[in-house]
Amino acid sequence: MIIITAEDLKARLLAGEKVNLVDVREPHENAEFNIGGVLVPLGKIQTMQTEELDELKNDEVIVYCRSGNRSGQACLILETMGFTNVKNLVGGMLDWQAKGL
C-alpha cells in the first residue's frame, strides 16, 4: 500500500491539483471536520457498496480517516476490488489538524 503525508496532500491541494479524496469515517466525524472528500464509510467499502467510486478504479484515489487505520483497511479492500492507484493518508485527520494544515 502506498502512503501520502498530510504535507504532501496539502501542497497538492494548494497547487490546484484535482485529487480524488475518499473519507471512510462515519458521517458525524465528516460533519465535524473534513477536507472535501467523498464520504464512503468503511462499512460500505467492507460490503463492497462502492458504486460512487467505481469510475475511479484506474485513477489515483487518496483515502483518509481519523488516524489512518480505517483508511489503511479501505485501501487494501479497494485494491482487491481492482482499484489500481490507492493511497492512504498516513496519520489521517488527527495528523492534518495537529500540523495546523
**CA terminus-to-terminus distance, the chain:** 24
Whether the Cβ atoms of residue 66 and residue 92 lie closer than 8 Å to each other: yes
75 is an active site residue: no
3-state secondary structure of 35: coil
Rounded to whole angstroms, the Cα distance separating 78 from 94 reads: 23
Which of 24, 65, 89, 93 is catalytic? The answer is 65
Task: Tell me which residue has cell 496519520.
Answer: 91
Active site residues: 65
